Amino acid sequence: MKERIITSIILVGVLALVLISGQTGFMVFVAIVGVIAGYEIYKIKKTEWKPSILLILWAYILSGAFLPTDYFIAVLSIALILLLAISVFNEWFSVQDMAFVFMMGTILALTLSSLVLVFSYDLFVLLYVVLATYSTDIFAYFGGTFFGKTKLIERVSPKKTVEGAIIGVIGSITVSLLFGMVYVVNRGILPFEVILTISLLVPFVGQIGDLAFSLVKRFYNIKDYGNILPGHGGILDRIDSIAFSFIVFTVVLSIIL
């Protein structure tokens, strides 16, 4: 626990520096996250896969993150064709491997692209989505600790409970709505309907993201995706819930605005 707390404090400090460093600093940070996360995916079966998989992952993730949205379909198509070709001509890269790499690469590319988009709106919009996501985790943790009795999905995440999930949803909606109204809507950055929709959706999609990333770890029989963050695991262990939150936020923006 001590190691986890120390890492969290350092992370908060690093993120604070990134956020005040402006657009360039944030872009560099996003690129570093993409490179590390891509390697964590590759590392799951590093002994079986060739480095070409890692190079495709990096190219796909970073291109998806920084190229204009209009190019994403082209980037996605090229990545899919390359991975399919490798799977067809090489026994060491199965169809299952191809599907996994493509799925995780797409999630990361969309997540980082959404991060860049949200940051371009306003710092408080970024903080709003982060708060909506992690407040769900915090409320769910304490709700499950004190009131948890019914297992949520034991085969995926044995410690999560239905009671914790419900308290997480209620707590997140309350906190995120208040923050969003004061720092986003009242400042004229985004309309109320966007904040209301996101505040209602994020507690659910964030927990789905958390469970989905846990399911992958169960499938590959690994405890953590990496060890770059002592007490927390890897980059993917930290962005599991927030990945889905930022993607959904971008979708909502495209529909409402």
- Give me 241's structure tokens: 């819930």
Across the range 147-166, mean pLDDT stands at 94
Alpha-carbon span 128 to 131, nearest angstrom: 5
Across the range 206-229, mean pLDDT stands at 93
Question: Alpha helix locations (H) across 67-191?
Answer: 72-89, 95-121, 123-147, 162-180
pLDDT tens for each residue of 183-199: 999 999 999 999 999 99
Alpha-carbon span 170 to 189, nearest angstrom: 25
pLDDT above 90 (res 211): yes
pLDDT tens for each residue of 40-65: 999 999 888 999 999 999 999 999 99
Asked if 65 and 30 count as a contact pair (C-beta separation under 8 A), the reply is yes
* φ/ψ of residue 119, rounded to 5: -65, -30
Alpha-carbon span 247 to 110, nearest angstrom: 6
pLDDT tens for each residue of 89-98: 999 999 999 9
Residues in Cβ contact with 71 at an 8 Å cutoff, skipping those fewer than 6 apart? 63
- What is the average pLDDT score of the chain? 93
Alpha-carbon span 257 to 52, nearest angstrom: 40
Asked if 213 and 150 count as a contact pair (C-beta separation under 8 A), the reply is no
